Amino acid sequence: MKDILAELEARRARARLGGGEARIEAQHARGKLTARERIDVFLDPGSFEEFGMFVEHRASDFGMAANKVAGDGVVTGWGMVNGRPVFVFAKDFTVFGGSLSEAHAEKIVKIQDMALKAGAPIIGLYDAGGARIQEGVAALGGYAEVFQRNVLASGVIPQISVIMGPCAGGDVYSPAMTDFIFMVRDTSYMFVTGPDVVKTVTNETVTAEELGGATVHTTRSAIADGAYDNDVEALTEMRRLIDFLPLSNRAEIPEIESADPHDREDASLDRLIPDSANKPYDMRDLILKVVDASDFFEIGAAFAKNILTGFGRIEGRTVGFVANQPMVLAGVLDSDASRKAARFVRFCDCFEIPLVTFVDVPGFLPGTAQEYGGLIKHGAKLLFAFAEATVPKVTVITRKAYGGAYDVMSSKHIRGDLNYAWPTAEIAVMGAKGAVEIIYRKETGDPEKIAARTREYEERFMSPFVAAERGYIDEVIRPHSTRRRIANGLRLLRDKQLENPWKKHDNIPL
């Protein structure tokens, strides 16, 4: 028995070395951790239970029969994040460049299936060169098996992808179907075809960073939801994100003990809205002053900055926040902001996370670029997402709520549960000046008459009380009481029951 145990430990030691000391040193020289080091940082100490440590590929062509490494380029298993179970796989770049083989794919598929059965999140750590060319169609089949499970798991368990090195070719499609993607600056990139192929096909000369680096995917393509400076920061932030998320669509949303009183009032909110309607303010300040202990995990911070999305807590329970940001484009809704917010709203609805919406929106962004770019359909995505959502929805209009954008931003008409307005709220079809110039077109040559008509319009329509009189607003509240009102509302709605008509699935305007 002693010899058998010694053999086991020797095999484990060889497997843990992956591609060997030289390749591990090369990985470190690039500023990257190894697959196993990443798992150690990510999971609670001593909690990792590995599966498939001794799996090897079954290929024999191109000399592969004599070139086998235990684990076959991916480390898989499960462990704990702050005492809650998660499944994880980490591509090992030191073994065949982390490339995917049939056996490699089978290891990932195995924990995908286990995560679905157990009802626990799955996190993929990517650092790989795509499909293993020596295996041909067997590797492609392996990819498809992984993709199929990404789809089946969508809306059932949270799926998170962290790109920590190259991620190219078929490897990019699995992350693309997960709920969140995060990257590491300067060491990670994603693209379907690399710079060499691009040069050959289109004659464009571009670097890997320019083609698919973290800056590109967090600011332009919106493929990634955030980026971090190094592996440790990325993994630490993923632990923080998981703390906000339920384990599955059957699990309760997380609740932690909070020392922040639910009825805490903040007098500074009474001064948040500037005297001038055209002067911006930072909506992030409102979110930070409303959530427990100013703890807000923002999603997509570098993309479509005219809208804010992210997770916070109220009375220790996770809440999803969507808010127009007046600091950028006056908080207007455009195609990018609509897509960003719609996806976030749908994620929250999948996992029964209540939604709080802060509204200061002057409308949809006009112009040929937006119209040609499909603003109508992109704007409809956000409308569809809010209207479809059955989770508790609390909305607070802080200033402008104009036109169709008023409807879209979780209004009472699309099943908002509690809709509040600050006294500074302006709810109308459009701004007073534009409205008067249309209604009183013949008087536009008389500045005094136009000024008088503008004041008349403002008094009649540009206040929350007209909407409140019709019941579209449940209450006009004092800004400093916003946290208390939201907390009380979410407590009231904790056991909300609402079901949409039966359907196989909806047909959101993609």
3-state SS, 256-306, equals CCCCCCCCCCCHHHHHCCCCCCCCCCCHHHHHHHHCHHHCCEECCCCCCCC
**374 part of the active site:** no
**170 part of the active site:** yes
| Both structure tokens of 400 | 């402008």
- State whether residue 426 is helix, strand or coil: strand
**405 part of the active site:** yes
Residue type, 413: H
Q: Which one of 79, 97, 142, 169 is the catalytic residue?
A: 169
| Both structure tokens of 89 | 């796989």
Return phi, psi of residue 228, to 5°: -130, 165
Q: Which one of 79, 142, 170, 431 is the catalytic residue?
A: 170
β-partners of residue 49 are: 78
Direct distance between the N- and C-terminal alpha carbons of the chain, in angstroms, rounded to an integer: 61
Q: Which residue in the block uniquely carries the two structure tokens 């999803």?
A: 320
**169 part of the active site:** yes
C-alpha distances in Å from residue 502, one per residue of 11, 37, 349, 392: 53, 46, 16, 20
Give the C-alpha separation, 263 to 482, whole Å: 9
One-character DSSP codes across 397-423: EEEEEEHHHHHHTT-GGGT-SEEEE-T
Pairing of strands 49-51, 74-81: antiparallel
Q: Which one of 405, 421, 428, 435 is the catalytic residue?
A: 405
Return phi, psi of residue 133, to 5°: -60, -35
3-state SS, 215-247, equals HHHHHCCCCCCEEECCHHHHHHHHHHHHHHCCC
Q: Report the helix count and the strand count for the chain, using DSSP H and E.
A: 19, 17
Q: Which one of 119, 155, 316, 404 is the catalytic residue?
A: 404
- State whether residue 498 is helix, strand or coil: coil
Which residue in 84, 125, 490, 386 sits closest to 248, CA to CA? 84
- Give the residue numbers annotated as catalytic, written as ranges: 169-170, 404-405
